[in-house]
Structure 1
């Protein structure tokens, strides 16, 4: 029995009028404050959580109770959002 031929699919190439706009946007470097802000937010978030647990939930803000966890994790999630914009 004869073997069937394997068909090769052509690779998709974007139209030439769209491609230059995408290339220009990707070449723009991110500002220098962006990674610094992200690192600061990570450090603040971790420090907030460590202080909260080591102080037996008395510090940084005792009246917030478990919302202190939201602040600490919120800082870290915000830093991930900032780092997603880094090029």
Structure 2
């Protein structure tokens, strides 16, 4: 039985009409305040929720009732938004 031919694969060459990304603009490091603010928001959010539960819903703001949960979780979600920008 005859042998089949071995096919050679072509070497990939990237297209030349697409410009490479600008290296200086996207590789800048994050400002120092960004991770500091994000960690602070996480700590404040967790502390807000812990105080709310441990005080039997009397603190930090008793008149807000369950909106205290929104404040605590909102702080943590805002920190996640900041951390998504961290390089």
| TM value normalised by structure 1 | 0.80
Runs of 4+ in 1 over 4 A off after TM superposition: 1-9, 11-16
Shift, 1:72, TM fit: 0.2
* 5+ residue gaps, structure 2: none
* 5+ residue gaps, structure 1: none
- Map 1:41-52 → 2, pairs under 5 A: 41-52=41-52
Bigger CA radius of gyration: 2
What's 1:86 paired with?
Answer: 86
The answer on 1:59 being equivalent to 2:59 is yes
The answer on 1:10 being equivalent to 2:5 is no
| TM value normalised by structure 2 | 0.80
Cα RMSD (Å): 2.5
Q: How many residues align?
A: 85
